[in-house]
Amino acid sequence: MFSKLLRAIIMGPPGSGKGTISGRIVHDFGMKHLSSGDLLRIQIMNSTAAGLEAKKFIDQGALVPDEVMVQLILNELREITNHSWLLDGFPRTVPQAEALSDKLDIDVVMNLDVPFETIKQRLTARWVHPGSGRVYNLDWNPPQIPGKDDVTGEQLIQRDDDKPETVTARLRNYENQTKPLLEFYSAAGKLVSFHGTESNIIYPKVKDFLATKIPPVTDDQSQSVKQ
C-alpha cells in the first residue's frame, strides 16, 4: 500500500496554526519538517555556492532571486533520501513552484484554509508585558485586571505586528501572493485544502488524509526523526 516516500508542501496564512500542525505531522508520521528559512541559513553557514550567492543579495538588502532560492532548497532536499518530508515556506511564487516542479515531483500540497476573520481575532487578542515578555490572550488567557500585567501591575502593550491594521495588511498580502500559487497546484492536481477554525479541528482531517499516503510511526521512530 505504501510504496514510496512522500514529498509534501504545507501552506497556510500567518496565524493559521501551520507550526502546530507541522509539529503534529512530524510526531505522528515521522516526516522531516523543512523550513525554507532554516534551509537558507544552513546553506549560507555551510558556504555552498548557492548559499554564498544568496548571501550577496541578503547583505545588500535585496530579495534572493528565484533561481538561487530554488537551488538552495534543492541542495537540501536532495540530501534527504530516507525520509518523507514536509516543505514549509517555499515556494512563494509561481516561477519558484514551476522551477521546483521541473526538478522534483511534489506529491501533495496541503493548504490550511482558516477564515481570515478567525485569524484576525486570534492575533489581535494578543497583548504582552514588555518588561518580562509575558503574553496574554484576551480570549483564553486574559489578565486579571484588563490592560495590566498580573505580576507587576504594569501596563500591557500590543505589538505592532498584532495591531488590527497590521494583521489585516499581512493577511491581504498573503492572499494576493498565494492565490496564483494555489491555482497553479490546483491545476496540477496536487492541492488538498483543509478547512477549519483551529488546529484541533483541522489536524484530524490532515491526519486521516496522510494516513492514506504513508504509515504512522511509533514514538521511538518519531524521536529518531527529531534527532
Q: Give the alpha-carbon dihedral of 185, 188, 189, 190, to 10 degrees.
A: -40
- Tell me: is residue 17 an annotated ligand-binding position: yes
**What angle separates helix 199-210 from helix 18-29, to the nearest 10 degrees?**
40
Annotated active-site residue 134? The verdict is: no
Which among 7, 55, 92, 213 is annotated as catalytic?
92
To the question of whether residue 136 is assigned a binding role by annotation, the answer is yes
Q: Is 63 annotated as a binding residue?
A: yes
Is 170 flagged in the annotation as binding? yes
> Residue 18, annotated ligand binder?
yes
Q: Is 24 annotated as a binding residue?
A: no
92 catalytically annotated: yes
Task: Say whether 172 counts as a known binding-site residue.
Answer: no
Is 41 assigned to a binding site? yes
The active-site residue out of 7, 32, 134, 170 is 170
The yes-or-no answer on residue 7 being catalytic is no
Grid cell 504512522 — which residue?
216
Nine-digit cell string for 99: 522551477
Based on the residue annotation, tell me whether 126 is a catalytic residue of this protein.
yes
Interatomic CA distance for residues 84 and 108, integer angstroms: 12
Per DSSP, the residues of 39-53 read: HHHHHHHTT-HHHHH
**Considering 78, 159, 163, 179, which one is annotated as catalytic?**
159
Cell numbers found for residue 10: 504545507
60 burial level (CB within 10 Å; 0-12, 13-18, 19+): exposed
Residue 7 annotated in ligand binding = no
Binding residues for GTP are 15-20, 126, 135-136, 199
Which residues line the annotated binding site for AMP? Answer: 36, 41, 62-64, 89-92, 96, 159, 170
Which residues belong to the active site? 18, 92, 126, 159, 170
Known binding-site residues equal: 15-20, 36, 41, 62-64, 89-92, 96, 126, 135-136, 159, 170, 199
